[in-house]
Amino acid sequence: MTIVTKDIAVPEALDHFQANSFSPYHFFTSDEWAKFRADTPLTLTADEVSRLRSLGDPIDLKEVRRIYLSLSRLLSSHVESSQLLFQQRNRFLNLSGAAKTPFVIGIAGSVAVGKSTTARVLKELLARWPSSPKVDLITTDGFLFPNAILQRDNLMNRKGFPESYDTTAILRFLSAIKAGQPNVQAPLYSHMTYDVLPDEFRTIDRPDILIFEGINVLQSRDLPADGKIVPMVSDFFDFSIYIDADEDRIHDWYVTRFMRLRQTAFRDPSSYFHRYASISEEDALETAEGLWQNINLKNLRRNILPTRPRADLILRKGDNHLIETVALRKL
């Protein structure tokens, strides 16, 4: 089936990206994309991929070969180009002894779409390049305001929306990273307690590559009328990736994950969601549907999906969480 967009017939799967001759993206099927891996070696084992994937995500070595080896090769070329530009600029400015700042990769997308799996797999692949770069991964969860503040400001039902994050802290963290500062601290978050961990941090010490993952990392913001500098999180990215899928698929993945968590993590008495482990399956389904419709779907439509066109690379998933289309921004 085809859809006509601006008088140009395009495959239905690509219409979501506004695929046409005026698009800023190149489009590839997963099979076409897989060919770009060339001789990139597969450095992960099946057991390692199994440990890296999130609950309900069926990624395996075949998917790593199809999608992630080509992506690793692409990112390698971007990092090398960034290093070359750094050297050329130092010569231009007659600078010596300046340290190269980390190459930052942003990963965005809806809840339950597989961002965490993509981020972890990429981290392992990039760290195993022949040059053995130091690669760190940080998620934006730790930059959420603590539940006490969200409750005070009546924002618990908007957790994950842009206003629920301490954007100032995110910008301060990324500014320090890009300034090449040592031992930059990132706050930690517990999915068990569903809250920021007080006075607990992870220290990031001048990595070669930093992966920064979160649903709203490509979010834009209003510009001031007086022309003052107002940075956006994405201003600190050297490359950005958006994980995409149809709403109906993400909805199914979210509900399925919720129901599986009832049988696993929710059974822990310390879990914030422990109360959902003992309710009936019918009530649990109703709860999951309510959380999706009233929170996550609204956030996807209003805040997350509109940021997709800002990404350098879009990985679009089809059935079974597998990538079916890749869109790469033209240079």
**Please, what are the domains in the chain?**
58-91+109-214+230-329 (3.40.50.300)
Residues of the chain with pLDDT under 50: 1-14
Tally of CB atoms within 10 A around 257: 16
Q: Which residue has the tokens 């409750």?
A: 151
Tokens of 113: 């779409």
pLDDT at 119: 97
DSSP for 32-96?
HHHGGGTT------HHHHHHHSPTT----HHHIIIIIHHHHHHHHHHHHHHHHHHHHHHHHHT--
The Cα–Cα gap between 108 and 244 comes to 9
Quick: pLDDT tens for 263-310: 999 999 999 999 999 999 999 999 999 999 999 999 999 999 999 999
Give, to the nearest 10 degrees, the angle between helix 69-93 and helix 115-127: 60
Predicted structure pTM score: 0.92
Cα 77 off chain centre by: 20
Q: Is 319 exposed, middle or buried (0-12, 13-18, 19+ CB in 10 A)?
A: exposed
Long-range contacts of 75-84 (CB under 8 A, 24+ apart): 75/105, 75/122, 75/126, 75/239, 76/126, 76/129, 78/103, 78/238, 78/239, 79/103, 79/133, 79/208, 79/209, 82/238
The span from the CA of 228 to the CA of 231, in Å, is 10
Cα separation, 232 vs 101, whole angstroms: 18
